[in-house]
């Protein structure tokens, strides 16, 4: 799943063809809370059926296909709630699926390779994911409520809160880059005598997590943060 085909998503393309070319889009659809049964529908037809703005779907799908130009100027404040919902579903995926999966694979590896080096991998990943959890908790408890309050209460959110998108940007950390260090550690320095299959599964799972975290960060930096900054500066708020 980590390798992708760089096909640029357009409204008229058949969604099933896109999903077969890049299965990572199946995960993207889960983040949108969309059913992956797409029949013969085009991207535009599927989005219309599911009450999702086609431009939002296409912009994020193209991130998954390797294109960084999201057309951020096409987004409006009406898209903010959809984007927050998408990111919140990403959080659940990381916490409830990928972290337990990777932790289990490391434990399996240690069962037949009881070395200090493998134990170091476990500690490295646990320390890293504590940092990730802190980042996700910050978004869920501080940033996302502020963004939603800004949408609903308008000027009250600005006057009652000392928080702003600038603070969110300062707090924003590169939470996926450490995974590259962990992958290099496993590939180059950790002696594995047995369970090469488990090591392969572990590396692939780390790659999947790293890839989705990069998309997560791109959505925040290229789409959500500019939208919130524009909303904060909007004149004559009521």
Distance CA 119, CA 114 (A): 8
Please report how the helices 196-219 and 24-31 are oriented relative to each other, as an axis angle in degrees rounded to 10: 50
pLDDT for position 1: 45
For the chain of 238 residues, list the mean pLDDT of each consecutive stretch of 10: 68 95 95 93 96 95 87 85 97 96 93 86 91 92 92 62 73 73 86 84 94 92 90 67
Per-residue pLDDT at 7:
86
CA distance 48 to 52: 6
């Amino acid at each position: 799943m980590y390798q992708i085909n760089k096909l640029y998503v357009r409204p008229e393309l058949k969604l099933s063809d896109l999903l077969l070319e890049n299965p990572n889009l199946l995960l993207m659809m889960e983040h949108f809370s969309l059913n992956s049964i797409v029949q013969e529908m085009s991207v535009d037809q599927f989005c219309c059926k599911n009450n999702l703005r086609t431009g939002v779907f296409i912009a994020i799908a193209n991130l998954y296909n390797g294109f960084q130009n999201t057309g951020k100027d096409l987004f409006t404040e009406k898209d903010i709630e959809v984007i927050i919902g998408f990111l919140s579903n990403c959080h659940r995926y990381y916490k409830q699926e990928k972290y337990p999966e990777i932790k289990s694979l490391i434990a399996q590896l240690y069962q037949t390779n009881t070395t200090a080096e493998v134990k170091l991998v476990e500690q490295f990943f646990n320390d890293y994911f504590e940092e990730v959890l802190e980042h996700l908790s910050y978004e869920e408890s501080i940033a996302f409520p502020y963004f939603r309050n800004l949408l609903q209460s308008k000027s009250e959110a600005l006057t009652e809160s000392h928080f702003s998108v600038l603070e969110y940007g300062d707090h924003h950390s590169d939470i996926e880059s450490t995974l590259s260090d962990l992958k290099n550690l496993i590939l180059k320095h950790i002696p594995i005598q047995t369970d090469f299959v488990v090591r392969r599964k572990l590396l692939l799972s780390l790659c999947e997590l790293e890839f989705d975290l990069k998309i997560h960060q791109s959505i925040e930096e290229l789409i959500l943060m500019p939208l919130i900054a524009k909303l904060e500066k909007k004149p004559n708020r009521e």
